[in-house]
């Protein structure tokens, strides 16, 4: 794999360590939040707020990265911020503190993500971007498998000791942060004097190509129906009332995601990224429709296999497709703008899901999303996009 350069490999290992930390906590989060009195509406608001923080900052810091001609400082700072946030929830359970801790973690993600993805894009070519982003997601997701596996083993021996896990998660997070200092950044030309005004966060849309705008419009509509994955985990908990089942399903999901990310990236390069995205959307519809009617653990296992295929077919591929549509000097702005707008949609999606869960039924949350994404599938299928 000659296209996996030293920089791509290091950043992929960094993501692996970071996801060991983050995903150690993610399946535990709804269990922890419920144990300290958070309702479904408050959980939806928290996760929507967290994703909005990450996404909006991706747009701002992605634009700043392009304008300043620098990538690595954003990567260093972003991973450090997320690492520091990990142990914060071990000390206090006040809702304001919990919101602050999650915001700090997601802000770190927002600071680093667009710049990191731009480095990955700069290290690859249009012909192998699907494979490069797929390899990165594979490594990222291996970490996302190790993390919840550790959480599952830990809770087996120490049931309900959720807060101690937040302290343990700091170790792999800080190791990953230290590895970012081994990356050597390619020099980029400064486009202009760096601007720091928040009002310029989404200025990229003014000059973006028509293909970029069409694709982003479809992806944003999809995001409006794609609420936080915590609702999937909450449905398993509500149906099976077993913490091990919740974490076990999440581990299976990450195993499938890790195994499928690179092959699906390769197929995207060979057969088309739009076709791969459509396959992913189809898997999403099947999964959410299934969650609307299933209540058995065996059924949840099967649905999480399909959910792993959905994520593998869409996460890295969507970024690779966006990066192919724009000049190298605009990659971080393009990905950051999309991520920022997407996060706003996810905020609405998560709040809506929380309200539907509480006032209608949990099943209605998933049927609503499946119906909405079915429409997005038709919309994207009808679009003609220039992929390279």
Task: Please report the DSSP string for 34-84 in residue order.
Answer: HHTT--HHHHHHHHHHHHHHHHHHHHHHHHHHHHHT--HHHHHHHHHHHHH
Residue 95 has pLDDT above 60, yes or no: yes
**Alpha-helical segments (H) within the chain:** 6-25, 29-35, 40-68, 72-85, 95-122, 129-157, 162-168, 170-179, 204-207, 210-224, 230-240, 243-271, 273-293, 297-324, 331-359, 362-381
pLDDT of residue 189: 57
DSSP string covering 216-230: HHHHHHHHHT---TH
Among 388, 380, 109, smallest CA distance to 223 is for 380
53-62, 80-89, 136-145, range with the lowest pLDDT? 53-62
* pLDDT bucket at 367, cuts 50 / 70 / 90: very high
Res 388: pLDDT: 61
Percent of the chain with pLDDT over 90: 33
Q: Give the three-class secondary structure for 195.
A: coil
Give yes or no for residue 196 having a pLDDT over 50. Answer: no
In this prediction, residue 130 carries a pLDDT of: 80
Backbone angles phi, psi at 212, to 5 degrees: -60, -45
CA dist 171 and 20 (Å) reads: 10
pLDDT exceeds 50 at position 11? yes
Give yes or no for residue 98 having a pLDDT over 90. Answer: no
Average pLDDT over residues 23-40: 80
In this structure, is the dihedral angle defined by the CA atoms of residues 63, 64, 65 and 70, taken in order, positive or negative?
positive
Contact indicator for 17, 173 with CB cutoff of 8 Å: yes
pLDDT tens sequence across 279-298: 999 999 999 999 999 999 99
Closest residue by Cα to residue 145 from 11, 299, 258: 258
Gap between the Cα atoms of 72 and 110, Å rounded: 14
pLDDT exceeds 90 at position 17: yes
How far is it, in rounded angstroms, from Cα 148 to Cα 254? 9
At what angle are helices 6-25 and 170-179 packed, to 10 degrees? 160
pLDDT at 220 over 90: yes
Q: Higher-confidence residue: 275 or 319?
A: 275
- On average, the pLDDT of the chain sits at 85
pLDDT of residue 319: 81
Cβ atoms 14, 142 nearer than 8 A: no
**CA dihedral (229, 95, 171, 173) positive or negative:** positive
Confidence band, pLDDT 50/70/90 cuts, at residue 218: very high
pLDDT tens-digit profile of 301-350? Answer: 999 999 999 999 998 788 888 888 888 778 878 887 887 788 788 888 98
Report pLDDT digits (tens) over 101-125: 888 888 998 899 888 988 988 888 8
Q: Reduced to 3 states, what is the DSSP secondary structure of residue 200?
A: helix
Domains of the chain: 6-184+208-381 (1.20.1250.20)
Question: What pLDDT digit, counting tens, does each position of 244-268 carry?
Answer: 888 889 889 988 988 888 888 888 8
Q: What is the pLDDT of residue 200?
A: 59
């Amino acid at each position: 794999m000659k296209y996996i350069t030293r920089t791509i490999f290091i950043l992929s290992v960094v993501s692996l360590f970071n996801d060991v930390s983050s995903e150690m906590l993610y399946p535990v989060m709804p269990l922890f939040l419920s144990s300290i009195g958070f309702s479904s509406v408050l959980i939806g608001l928290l996760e929507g707020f967290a994703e909005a923080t990450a996404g909006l900052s991706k747009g701002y810091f992605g634009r700043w990265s392009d304008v300043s001609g620098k990538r690595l400082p954003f990567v260093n700072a972003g991973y450090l911020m997320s690492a520091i946030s990990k142990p914060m929830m071990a000390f206090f359970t006040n809702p304001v503190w919990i919101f602050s801790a999650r915001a700090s973690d997601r802000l770190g993600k927002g600071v680093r993500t667009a710049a990191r993805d731009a480095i990955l894009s700069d290290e690859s070519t249009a012909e192998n971007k699907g494979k490069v982003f797929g390899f990165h997601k594979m490594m990222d997701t291996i970490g996302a498998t190790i993390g919840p596996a550790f959480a599952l083993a830990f809770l087996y021996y120490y049931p309900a000791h959720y807060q101690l896990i937040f302290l343990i998660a700091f170790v792999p997070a800080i190791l990953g942060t230290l590895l970012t200092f081994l990356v050597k950044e390619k020099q980029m030309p400064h486009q202009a004097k760096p601007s720091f005004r928040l009002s310029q966060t989404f200025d990229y849309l003014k000059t973006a190509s028509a293909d970029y705008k069409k694709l982003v419009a479809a992806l944003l509509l999809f995001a409006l129906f794609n609420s936080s994955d915590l609702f999937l985990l909450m449905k398993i908990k509500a149906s099976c009332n077993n913490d091990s089942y919740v974490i076990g399903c999440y581990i299976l999901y990450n195993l499938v995601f890790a195994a499928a990310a690179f092959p699906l990236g390769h197929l995207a390069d060979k057969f088309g990224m739009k076709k791969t995205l459509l396959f992913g959307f189809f898997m999403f519809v099947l999964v959410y429709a299934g969650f609307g009617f299933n209540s058995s653990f065996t059924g949840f296992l099967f649905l999480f296999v399909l959910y792993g295929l959905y994520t593998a077919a869409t996460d890295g591929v969507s970024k690779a497709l966006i990066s192919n549509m724009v000049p190298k000097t605009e990659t971080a702005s393009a990905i950051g703008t999309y991520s920022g707008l997407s996060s706003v949609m996810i905020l609405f999606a998560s709040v809506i899901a929380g309200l539907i869960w509480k006032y209608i039924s949990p099943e209605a949350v998933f049927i609503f999303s499946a119906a909405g994404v079915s429409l997005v599938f038709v919309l994207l299928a009808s679009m003609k996009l220039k992929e390279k």
